[in-house]
Amino acid sequence: MNESLLQERHDNAREDGHETDADFVRFIDVQKSYDGVELVVKGFNLDIHRGEFVTLLGPSGSGKTTCLMMMAGFETPTHGQILLKGDPINDLPPHKRGIGMVFQNYALFPHMSVAENLAFPLEVRHMSKAETKRKVDRALAMVRLENFGDRRPAQLSGGQQQRVALARALVFEPELVLMDEPLGALDKNLREEMQYEIKRIHADLGVTMIYVTHDQTEALTMSDRIAVFNDGVVQQLAAPDTLYEAPENAFVANFIGENNRLYGEVTETIGDKCQVRLDSGETVLAKAVAAGGIGTRTTLSLRPERVAIVSGEADEAFDNRFPAEVREVIYLGDHLRTRLSVCGNDEFILKTPNAKGYASLRPGQSIDVGWASSDCRALDA
């Protein structure tokens, strides 16, 4: 049902010409200050390809929403440029940018029916009645709300409102859609359902999407690339798996997924590895990712699922091996979380699949744990 819409979109893309797919949207050295004292966005650079799904992820106040608002035209950059399809758009008012946007609370016009809401962007483009009706019906079909055109937004559930908002942002066939925490108001199940829905539509239409969220799971599930924001600066811009597997600094490591931290000092570097003496005295071999030279402090980051309970002979796979004491065992059905005391860290988490053969642990029990040095990343302090 969406083939024709998709086709039209591609036609549109071919008509305008001079940009290449690689620099569909560009932020160049963008800075933003509201009060002239403090920068909320500090030198933001980002290139987005046509058809990409990019998520701006970060805690609240990190500047991600401000970037989105500058893209939409509701905020003006204090410095720097934003290019859309190669053209600077700093001085273009929002209604001339042709960017679709989904707002946090959907911003559906409460006094209009669903169909009227969807018709609004077509009406302001002076589209014919018949054409408008055709596109509205198609957009409703796309979000599977064919029979809801006559309802008022208040008569819909949260998930349905969300779909209408999405349909409204897409109905006038923008090439770029911005989403500002669109799923924040939904409960968990609905949120997951909508994530797939958005993903599906994105794949179907090939539209470029910039998505803002503070929910890392959401970001990991949906995005082609994720820009992790903190304190007005992009900490890392990478694909989800890279972010998770290879965080470049302590903030990203902490923010994305669960993480065991050990603190210490670099004592020796060996190729891409380094020896780190922990504050508790033990020495750990780790992969030097962002650690400084000998004598600098570092944070070791270790994913809980990469730690194993070891016994008997030394195993080459685990070139780090330490005694541990079980503090707490939490049963989570498909897996078990075990809180350990390792190397002076009482909050050390061990995640083990609930598979056959795993001995059950009891609090107070002494065991040995081990991990591969390639899984243990020495990051900035």
Partner 1 sequence: MSQSPSVPLTTADGVPLKTSLRRAVRRSKVKAFLLVSPLLLFLGIAFIMPIVEMLWRSVDNPEVSTQLSRTVAALEGWDGESLPGEPVFAALAEDLREGQEARNLGLLSSRLNYEKSGMRSTISRTARRIGRVEPPFRESLIEINDTWGELDTWKLIQREATPYTLSYYLAAVDRQLSPSGEIVEVPDHLKVHVSLFWRTFWMSAVITGLTLLLGYPIAFLLTSLPLRHSNLLMILVLLPFWTSLLVRTTTWIAILQSQGVLNDVMVALGVIADEARWQMIHNKAGTIIAMTHILLPFMILPLYSVMKTIPPSYMRAARSLGGKPFLNFRRVYFPLTIPGIAAGGILVFILSIGYYITPALVGGQSGRFITNYIAYHMQTSLNWGLAAAIASILLFVVIVFYMVFNRLIGVDKVKLG
Chain residues in the site for partner 1 (CB under 8 A): 72-74, 93-101, 103-105, 107-111, 120-121, 124-125, 168-169, 172, 178
Please say which residue, 111 or 356, places its beta carbon nearer to partner 1: 111
Apex CA 275: angle with CA 272 and CA 277, to 5°?
150
Q: How far is C-alpha 134 from the chain's CA centre?
A: 34
Please say which residue, 178 or 227, places its beta carbon nearer to partner 1: 178
Alpha-carbon separation of residue 32 from 36, 144, 372 (angstroms): 9, 39, 43
Please say which residue, 169 or 350, places its beta carbon nearer to partner 1: 169
Residue 140 CB, nearest approach to partner 1 (Å): 16
Please say which residue, 110 or 333, places its beta carbon nearer to partner 1: 110
Closest CA to 268 of 302, 293, 234: 293
Please say which residue, 58 or 182, places its beta carbon nearer to partner 1: 182
Residue 208 CB, nearest approach to partner 1 (Å): 15
Residue 173 CB, nearest approach to partner 1 (Å): 11
Please compute, for residue 277, the number of CA atoms within 13 A of its CA located in the half-sphere on the CB side: 7
d(CA 183, CA 198): 10
Check: CB of residue 65 under 8 Å from CB of residue 12: no
d(CA 68, CA 102): 11
Please say which residue, 68 or 278, places its beta carbon nearer to partner 1: 68
d(CA 236, CA 246): 10
Residue 96 CB, nearest approach to partner 1 (Å): 8
Residue 108 CB, nearest approach to partner 1 (Å): 8
Residue 214 CB, nearest approach to partner 1 (Å): 18
d(CA 208, CA 176): 5
Strands 53-57 and 39-48: unpaired
